[in-house]
Amino acid sequence: MTEPTKEELLARIAELEKQAGPKKAGRLEFRVSGKGGVSVYGLGRFPVTLYCEQWEALLAVADDLRAFVEDEKRRGTLKLKSRSE
């Protein structure tokens, strides 16, 4: 069996990308990890995984977190990054 040419490989990649459909850019996905944590995909390069109790604790203080982030934005202490990076 011979090795496929570069052109054949590129054609195969294009075919597979068409089958996969459009990328879900900017869309968050939730999954349960193998250890039972809840993972959020789409925030950055790696997923954010917390256990249920941790998510509940974080969500309980969501308003405080929003206020903190807004205050730090006004102070100029946060590094702001676009979602496409």
* Domain map (residue ranges) of the chain: 27-77
> What is the reported pLDDT for 21?
67
Please tell me what DSSP assigns to residue 58. Answer: H
**Residue 22 and residue 4 in contact, taking contact as beta carbons nearer than 8 Å:** no
- Which is more confidently placed, 23 or 78? 78
Residues facing residue 50 across a β-bridge: 38
The pLDDT of residue 83 is above 60: no
Residue 64 region by backbone torsions, left for phi larger than 0, else alpha for psi between -120 and 50, else beta: alpha
Residue 36 region by backbone torsions, left for phi larger than 0, else alpha for psi between -120 and 50, else beta: left
The pTM assigned to this predicted structure is 0.61
